Amino acid sequence: MSDFVRVAALSEIPDPGKNVYEVDDRFVIVIHAGGQVFCLDDVCTHDDGPLGEGELLGNEIECPRHGARFDIKTGKATMMPATQPTQVHEAKIEGDDIYVRLVD
């Protein structure tokens, strides 16, 4: 497993809010919600949709293409048409910064 990488200052993402970052040639969504940070692949497993452009709805994020939803903590698909989870990565706050560690 790779190391934690700093992706942004915590102040860059409002709470609640999200942003897409490129980490090791991979695009991930970093979500700031309820004082915590979460990280998941910027891809909807239904149709490769740009999940990072979707709306944050509590603990879920909605794909802008077809409305599939995913749990931001587990990546689990919570709403059709997606049935497969999207990959989640470790994310943490250290001081004023956000760090993520990608799953291989």
Partner 1 sequence: MSVGTAASIENWDAEAFNQYVKQLGEPEWLVNLRQEAFETFEGMDWPTRKEEEWMRTDIRGFQLKKFNPPNLNAPIDPASLSRGLLADGVDIGGQVVSLNGKTAVSSISEELKAQGVIFGDFESVLAEHGDLVQKYLFQGEFDPNFDKFSALHAAFFSNGMFLYVPRNVTVEQPLHFLSLLGDNGVDLAHTLIVLEEGAQATVLTESASLDDEKPGMHCGAIEVIVGDRANLRFVNLQNWGEKVWHFAQQKGCVGRDANLFWTLGALGSRLSKVNQHVALDKPGAHCEVNGVLFTEGKQHLSYHTQQYHRAPSCTSNFLYKAALQDQSRTVWRGMIKVAPGAQKTDGYQRIDNLLLTEHSRADSIPGLEIEADDVRCTHGATTGRVDEEQVFYAMARGFTRKEATRMIVTGFFQQVFDRITLETVREALGHAIATRVREYE
Under rule CB under 8 A, residue 27 binds partner 1: yes
Q: What are the DSSP calls for 14-70, one per residue?
A: -SSEEEEEEETTEEEEEEEETTEEEEEES--TTT---GGGSEEETTEEE-TTT--EE
Asked if residue 25 binds partner 1 (CB under 8 A), the reply is yes
Rounded Cα distance between 86 and 67, Å, is 14
The answer to whether residue 3 forms part of the interface with partner 1 (CB under 8 A) is no
96 scored as a contact of partner 1 (CB under 8 A): no
Q: Which tokens go with 63?
A: 């794909």
Structure tokens at 83: 């049935």
* Binding test (CB under 8 A) with partner 1, winner from 2, 6, 47, 57: 47
Stretch in the footprint of partner 1 (CB under 8 A) among 3-11, 22-30, 74-82, 90-98? 22-30
Among 4, 8, 10, 50, binds partner 1 (CB under 8 A): 50
Does residue 48 belong to the site contacting partner 1 (CB under 8 A)?
yes
Positions touching partner 1 (CB under 8 A) are 22, 25, 27, 43, 47-50
